[in-house]
Amino acid sequence: MSHNLHNDLFLHYYKAWGGVEDYESDNLGIPDFFQRVPQDNEILPAKLREDARSALLERKSIGLLSNSELQEFWYLLERYHSPPTVNGEKFMNYENFRKASKEASPKAKQYFTASTFAKLLHEDEILSRINILAFFNYVMKKVWLQQTHVGISLYDVCGEGYLRETDLENYMLELIPTLCQLSVMESTFQTFYVCTAVRKFFFFLDPLRSGRVRITDILA
């Protein structure tokens, strides 16, 4: 099948299944500033949006540090720590910080920035070093937040960065078995617990009663 025929068939079915009609010739050079969410009857645009969002979330998930990579990251910090230790805690100066960044994996290099070093540097550290444990915990928190953001975004049906009440309920119901303190809860109480928790989220994060909350606000 030729490339032109492939494009013609795609445009034909895209319009037939709810896609946008032909663009005006005068508007071909003007980029779109807003992409509306496809309606229920727009089958192909909705499917394209869903596939694109799934590919984006998968790419973000692959780019995160795994448990084994976090362990290697810790070994790297220990290898480049700068003596002396203080009360058994190890520190790292900026010179070793830069050396470690050169040996870090491509995924970990993004955390070796001057702004990160300055953020973790304490004024009372006379040797201008950062605590490697504090740096490691900082990276772990970043990774956890990104993992959680990707996980919650899977429940965002529209892909606009918001969760409706039913979306948040579905997320929390599937989250309960992974939480030690809640995994032993009887199934008869789970629905009541989820309903109460979701109502609290919406009470504090949706003051305008729009019926949805931002994912970034949930993580904050």
H or E element at residue 176: none
User: For the ranges 42-56, 81-95, 109-123, 165-179, which has the lowest average pLDDT?
Assistant: 42-56
Longest dimension (CA), the chain: 71
Is 211's pLDDT higher than 70? yes
Q: Which residue has the higher pLDDT, 97 or 33?
A: 97
Name 86's bridge partners: 89
Q: Which residue has the higher pLDDT, 124 or 214?
A: 214
What separation in angstroms does the CA of 138 have from each of 11, 93, 106, 116, 132?
A: 48, 17, 18, 9, 10
The predicted-structure confidence for 145-174, as pLDDT tens digits, reads as follows 999 999 999 999 888 899 999 999 999 999
Is 13's pLDDT higher than 80? no
Task: Give the C-alpha separation, 41 to 2, whole Å.
Answer: 30
Is 160-219 in CATH node 3.30.2130.10?
A: no
The predicted-structure confidence for 21-60, as pLDDT tens digits, reads as follows 554 445 556 666 767 777 777 778 878 888 888 888 999 9
Q: Which residue has the higher pLDDT, 20 or 146?
A: 146
Average pLDDT over the chain, rounded to whole?
A: 87
